[in-house]
């Protein structure tokens, strides 16, 4: 009888340990990291549809999105760490609350403009160095089956879809790749002056991104307040080109644990 009681007690303790571990994992996930699956091509070539990553929610301190249950060390207070220009950031759309991921271009007080497809910050153009051609198949991508946009359109199904690729250098020397598909509406913009406490974002796939160049009234992002920033994306953990992560034949092993630049 004693042995049986100890067995039941041991199982009970094991169950409690599992429950505590799951609760701890949930708290860590809620406070520190958030998984994010790339659903669109607005950040190509940096991020591809089907990339899976964790967002560092503590990169910029505490906000109402990193402390949803008011269990921060100082509830109700934002402890700010300044975002850096060039960071790849997940944020909440200021109107509908949808998660977006874009590159941080403009800080409070900056003047941002695009002229003839070139980005200007505070009147200075960001140099771009040609970096060959970005290639992908013209076929459905990801769970939503989105089709890529091609600079060489029309492209038959399964054909080679291309875009011009360049390396853009930001103030301070940070470099990242950008794509050009066409000379479109957003290649020439007015000057945007970023308000205090807000930020300006753009996608690296410049002709396929509804970002801060577009007003919120037209479905764009507009300016994004600090407390809408969820966190910084630093590394791709996993990547699948197919409709599901279970489709192992579509995995991209070369992108596993790849740093985000």
Active site residues: 42, 102
205 DSSP assignment:
B
Q: How far apart are CA 66 and CA 231, in angstroms?
A: 8
Which residues are CB-contacts of 170 (< 8 A; sequence separation ≥ 6)? 85, 86, 121, 126, 176
Contact 52, 245 (CB under 8 A): yes
List the one residue out of 44, 42, 14, 96 whose CA is nearest residue 213.
42
Beta bridge mates, 74: none
Which residues are CB-contacts of 108 (< 8 A; sequence separation ≥ 6)? 194, 195, 196, 197, 198, 199
Determine the 3-state secondary structure of 34 from DSSP. Answer: strand
Segment 58-62 long-range contacts (CB within 8 Å, at least 24 positions apart): 58/31, 58/32, 58/231, 59/83, 59/87, 59/231, 59/232, 60/226, 60/229, 60/231, 60/232
Cα distance from N-terminal residue to C-terminal residue, the chain: 63
Q: How far apart are CA 250 and CA 239, in angstroms?
A: 9
């Amino acid at each position: 009888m004693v042995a049986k009681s100890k067995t039941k007690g041991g199982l009970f303790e094991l169950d409690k340990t599992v429950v505590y571990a799951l609760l701890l994992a949930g708290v860590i996930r809620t406070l520190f990291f958030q998984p994010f699956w790339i659903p669109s091509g607005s950040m190509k070539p940096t991020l591809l549809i089907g990339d899976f990553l964790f967002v560092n929610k503590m990169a910029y301190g505490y906000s109402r999105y990193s402390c949803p249950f008011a269990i921060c060390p100082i509830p109700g207070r934002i402890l700010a760490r300044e975002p850096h220009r060039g960071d790849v950031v997940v944020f909440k759309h200021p109107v509908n609350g949808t998660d977006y991921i874009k590159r941080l271009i403009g800080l409070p007080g900056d003047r941002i403009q695009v002229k003839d497809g070139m980005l200007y910050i505070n009147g200075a153009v960001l140099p771009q160095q040609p970096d060959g051609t970005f290639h992908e198949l013209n076929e459905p991508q990801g769970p939503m089956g989105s089709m890529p946009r091609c600079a060489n359109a029309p492209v038959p199904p399964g054909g080679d879809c291309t875009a011009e690729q360049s390396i853009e250098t930001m103030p301070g020397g940070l470099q990242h790749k950008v794509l050009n598909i066409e000379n479109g509406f957003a290649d020439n913009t007015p000057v945007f002056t970023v308000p205090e406490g807000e930020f300006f974002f753009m996608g690296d796939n410049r002709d396929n991104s509804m970002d801060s160049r577009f007003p919120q009234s037209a479905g764009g992002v507009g300016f994004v307040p600090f407390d809408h920033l969820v966190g910084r994306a630093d590394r791709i953990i996993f990547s699948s080109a197919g409709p599901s992560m279970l489709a192992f034949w579509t995995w991209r092993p070369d992108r596993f644990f790849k740093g985000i630049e």
